[in-house]
A and B are shown apart, each in its own frame.
Chain A
Amino acid sequence: MISKLSVAGIAIILLAVALPLSAAQGVEALIEGLQIERENGTFVVSFSVKNCFNTKMEEAIKAGVPTTFNFFVTLYKTRALVWDKKIASRKFRHRVIYDNLKQDFRIWLQEKEKELRVADLEEAKRSMQLVERFPLIKGQKLEKGIYELAVKAELDPVKLPLRLEGILFFVSLWDFETDWYYRTIKVEP
């Protein structure tokens, strides 16, 4: 009797601890417009992330909190009998930081190795969530067959001043992480 109660007690406690964390999650972020095209012999990937900004995050950005999105792009070759083979895997970042003195947003697009400075937040958001023509792999490297493109985006863990993110372990910080999105492509010789 006691052991059953003990198990139930532990379960309740764990649930009580875990519930606020899970309840703090916002609207689910997702990837839209995932495309892969062959452009000048290179496969380029384009997509955009939706629902990745919320009010809190915007406030944080305006307050000067550097915000970074991590993008993961992976290409698998689909195989019938064994597991899929990873052909290419890339990770790049978009980073936005607000310059209070100059009153503009500086956006660093790692895949293009380019910094943008925009005065408008909406424009900054658009730049942050949009990935355009990211060159994934050269076409000649791919054999004939079916390939699967997987894409995911996530917010880089937020760094707070004085490492407060470590202390504020009970507080739900703005966060997002999309699922993996897939697109199948057929490569012809």
Chain B
Amino acid sequence: MSFYDNKYNFLKYKNFFMGISLIFFTFSIIFFFTKGLNLGVDFKGGTVIEMKFEEMNKSEDIRKSLLKINLGDVKVKEFGSNKEFLATIEQKGKNNDFVSSIKNHLEKDLNKKVDFRRVEVVGSKISKELTRDGIYSVLLALILMLIYIWFRFEWQFSLGSIIALVHDVIITIGAFSLIGYEFNLSIVAAILTIVGYSMNDTVIIYDRIREFLKKDDQKDLDELINDSINSTLSRTLKTSGTTLLALISIYFFGGEILKGFSFALIWGILIGTYSSIFVASPILIYFKVKRNWEEVVDTSP
């Protein structure tokens, strides 16, 4: 008997897990509104400069130096090594020589040569547009999924999967709010991928539920759903496993730029796998799915 062949009773504690999800969900929303997100320049506007010095440096010195010229709020952190730094600057500069003037000032003030390896300047108009597009794209993805599942299954499945997706999205945002990782465009991309992935997981369990419903319309629904989860469990865990292996590789070896992105995906895969088993499936019981999946046979003479 291997680990996968055991039969687990996932639905025995369904109220407990629903409760946990609800708590996470609520706290995520509370965090979002009280602590907020550490928005990147994509959504807040401003300037980001990734710089590299020839010798080691301290982020505090760079920050102090940058504060001498009028740049608004300035944050500097080490980015990979003690020669590389990421500066986030509130100002976006009206003049076109804004960035080169910062570079000149730094080199003169610190008396060290510096290379600006990456510069991003986002105006307030663009950041507003990106925020709008980001929200729209997540909503659009959710709506399209809702329609697709509705079309392929039944409304109960459609609603259940969307609740699970919203659960995943909100809790991911909550995690970002709590940890304070920068929230930028690539995180939105990651969230959309999570939506796709979590849906993938959910669909596979739903597919099995539907199959069992067709086979047997007398069996207790709790038991039937539990059987479905169990018979797809090894697939669910193995796929999550391989995907996580690939993502962990990006997290550790893909460089600083992909760190937040791969973190979001890793978190999303975990939460997505959890939600397919503990949210999307049990919720069908509350919605009372249709039991009679037999095709209507015309018996009239």
The answer to whether A and B belong to the same complex is no
